[in-house]
Amino acid sequence: MKLHREKHRLDVSVRDLSGSRFDDVNLSGATYKNVNMSGGTFHDVNMSGWRVSNVNLSGLRIEDANLAGASIAGCELVGMTIDGIDVGDLLRMWEARVKQEGEA
């Protein structure tokens, strides 16, 4: 199926869209539930305001991104790095610093 220069509201359920390609597409306000996006590639994407919960991002690679205002809570961070620095190490160093400042 090809949609070109058309405006539609799709209601898609129990379908396989693997291998689909989206180029210059507005998906703002779209809702995704029980979706497998493994192996997907996103380039030049505006994801501001996204909220993600109960998601498996293992192996996720983010490059050249604006993460201002992003928040991560209640997540498994084993193996996660920021600019090559282990996030677990960063958090442990931060906690030690906060504790040290509290004792001073």
Determine the Cα–Cα distance for residues 1 and 15; give it in Å rounded to an integer.
13
- Alpha-carbon distance values, 38 to 2, 57, 65 (Å): 23, 9, 20
State the pLDDT at residue 100: 94
Residue 42 in any domain: the answer is yes
Rg (CA), the chain: 19
How many structural domains is the chain composed of? 1
Residue 92 in any domain: the answer is no
State the pLDDT at residue 94: 95
State the pLDDT at residue 58: 82
State the pLDDT at residue 5: 75
State the pLDDT at residue 10: 80
Which residues of the chain have a pLDDT value below 70?
A: none
Q: Residue 30: give the domain boundaries.
A: 1-75
Nearest by Cα to 37 from 51, 63, 62, 58: 58
| Phi, psi dihedrals of residue 22, rounded to the nearest 5° | -120, 125
Residue 85 in any domain: the answer is no
State the pLDDT at residue 99: 94
Residue 83 in any domain: the answer is no
